[in-house]
Amino acid sequence: MAKKVWGGTFDEATDRRVEEFTESVSFDRRLYAHDVAGSIAHAQMLAKVGLITPDECRQIEKTLGEICQEIEDGRFAFSIELEDIHMHIERALIERIGDVGRKLHTGRSRNDQVSTDLRLWVREAIDLIDARLVELQRSFVGRCEADADCILPGYTHLQRAQPVLAAHYWLAYCEKYERDRGRLADARRRANVLSLGTAALAGTSLPIDREDVAQRLGFDAVTDNSLDTSSDRDFVVEFVFVLTLIAEHLSTWAEEWILWSTAEFGFLKLPQAFCTGSSIMPQKINPDVLELIRGKTARVVGSLQTLLVLIKGLPLAYNRDLQEDKPPLFDAFDTVKACLELAAPLAAGAQINRQVVAERLDRGFLDATTLMEHLIGRGIPQRTAHELIGQLVARARKQDVSLAQLPLDEFQAVCPELEESVFDVLGVAKAVEAMTSHGSTGPEQVHRQIARWKQHLARNE
């Protein structure tokens, strides 16, 4: 039989199998610095309100700092008998300074302590992911000027649709990651509320000052309902939801570039430092990093699902089920962080196969929509213009030529009003230049967006 960790009403020691089943220090030890920070702020508040003396506070601060450094250096001994990181740190404190250490838990419970540590960790993790997203945005914006004159086929349904500037493609990814950054900021705001001082579920009768602790730890506010606080893991679920969307956006980018790097597309040459070979086929250069980014997204989605199922049936206040919130949280964070660290240099290092792209740009009638809008500009109703251009495309297909290669009489056979000016809007370059609406792929619009993104990222330095 194992030794009892804490005293109280128990007459029997904890079964060793229970200790192994219930321990969490194997994964929550990564909260050690946040636990120490929260405990020091709590001790300083206890001294301020007179629940411990200034000297006792100094002893607690000094000893907690020493314990934190030992964990940082790998010199601290962990044991499943002490269950979690919080009990490890408090037991070490008590062993070193005795009853002074026993006073630290005054006015708090492990319930609000764990929640506070987790909020501190999530806040820090959000800031790190946000910084990685900015790095990825810089990689895409950094490509824009070099690729400014490059035209790529845009797709819908994986069928060629309209021509777009390569820079327009790169900035499209930036927009997705900017929305992710906005969601991170929202999630941070809701996470940045202090739990400490709500105790187990009902608060405390002791004269604590929660606002003082919030200020010391950089929280924007304190929670308003102790019962809700004890059970709340919304901030964990929300952060992992945002991580899931980031992973999904990375996955769609990876999928597109995997396709573009195939011999069938041939649009991109990926940096070989981010590819691997085959064990049997010596010619292969496989986009394994992109494939793993796409594959690891499944893990992040799984983490979100785990958390949603975890909280779906829990009654108010703390339940031990919530111990299981940390493995999916940590795994989702670690996975997305690793993907982002590779995504930025990969995005910066890929090269467009301009010759291959240029040779195929006249395929797919990418200028058909622009020609339709040319007819609309001459007073032809949109639906009528759509039908007429469809007929012209059919004629071009039969002759195996592009729209620009059709003779004028073919155009006039379908639409007698057309004149030589029709050729002013044909061809992918002219089709791109014709775009003028805000947010479009027209050169003027794209150059404005590049400038806007440069200014925006400069503000994030």
Residues, the chain: 461
Which residues, 6+ apart, have CB-to-CB distance to 143 below 8 Å?
166, 167, 170, 347, 348
223: helix, strand or coil? coil
> What are the helix (H) ranges across 218-353?
226-231, 234-260, 288-311, 326-349
Q: 351-352 and 268-269: which strand pairing?
A: antiparallel
Which residues, 6+ apart, have CB-to-CB distance to 305 below 8 Å?
none
Query: What does the block give as tokens for 145?
Result: 């000027």
**Radius of gyration over every alpha carbon of the chain, rounded to an integer in angstroms:** 30
Burial call 415-439: b when 16+ CB within 10 Å, e when fewer: beebeeebeebbbbebbbbbbeeee
Q: Residue 399 CA to chain centroid, in angstroms?
A: 49
Identify the burial level of 195 via C-beta atoms within 10 angstroms of its C-beta, where 0-12 means exposed, 13-18 middle and 19 or more buried: buried
For the chain, the first-to-last Cα distance in angstroms comes to: 57
Question: Given 24, 79, 157, 230, which residue is catalytic?
Answer: 157
Reference 125, options 291, 319, 332; nearest CA is 332
Orientation angle between helical segments 110-144 and 166-191, nearest 10 degrees: 160
Contact by Cβ (8 Å): 213, 39: no
Query: What does the block give as tokens for 312?
Result: 């779906």
Whether residue 278 lies in the annotated active site: yes
Question: Given 39, 231, 278, 374, which residue is catalytic?
Answer: 278
Reference 31, options 160, 101, 119; nearest CA is 119
Identify the burial level of 290 via C-beta atoms within 10 angstroms of its C-beta, where 0-12 means exposed, 13-18 middle and 19 or more buried: buried
What is the rounded CA–CA span in Å between residue 44 and residue 61?
8
For the chain, helix (H) and strand (E) counts, in that order, are 19, 6
Q: 193-194 and 221-222: which strand pairing?
A: parallel
Whether residue 440 lies in the annotated active site: no
Query: What does the block give as tokens for 82?
Result: 């002490």
Contact by Cβ (8 Å): 229, 195: yes
> Any idea which residues carry the catalytic annotation?
157, 278
